[in-house]
Amino acid sequence: MHIRPLGLSVSQQDRRWLWNRFSDLDQIVKGLLPLPALDESRQEAGTEIKDYMFLYFPELRPAVAPVRGKPLSPVWRYGEKVRRADGTTGFRCFSCHRVFWSSGVNRLRVHLEGGSAHQGSCPAVLPCTLESLARIPRA
Ligand SMILES: [Zn+2]
């Protein structure tokens, strides 16, 4: 066998470092250590990875509760509502990750389909996204 167990293939010093990371992770999972603070670029990368997962693997997205008894439009599969501290609402496009401070699922749809005078077009939408979007009837 050419594959050696991880513990044998790293130096004594690296093994100690690795062991400490597992130990930290264990403490975080148990709630004994806080999650490390992430800088802005890491938070952004995390959001983009999440957007990608929700867009291309929608079964991984947690169910979104109906709003005032109305089920959510299926167009929300391609983006997410966001809210500022002052209460302003908008959406983030899962394809290009941009945030638009105008609410309404039709704005998201217009953005994905090529934009309008008031709504910029999506620079990152893929043909497969447009094909599945076209199958959703307009409200
Ligand atoms: Zn977009």
What's the pLDDT tens digit per position in 93-123? Answer: 999 999 999 878 999 999 999 988 777 899 9
Q: What is the 3-state secondary structure (H, E, C) of the chain?
A: CCCCCHHHHCCHHHHHHHHHHHHHHHHHHCCCCCCCCCCHHHHHHHHHHHHHHHHHCHHHCCCCCCECCECCCHHHHHEEEEECCCCCEEEEECCCCCEECCCCHHHHHHHHHCCCCCCCCCCCCCHHHHHHHHCCCCC
CA 79 – ligand 1 centroid, Å: 8
CA 75 – ligand 1 centroid, Å: 13
Ion ligand 1 neighbours, Cβ < 5 Å:
93, 95-96, 122
66-91 pLDDT, tens digit per residue, is: 767 778 899 999 999 999 999 999 99
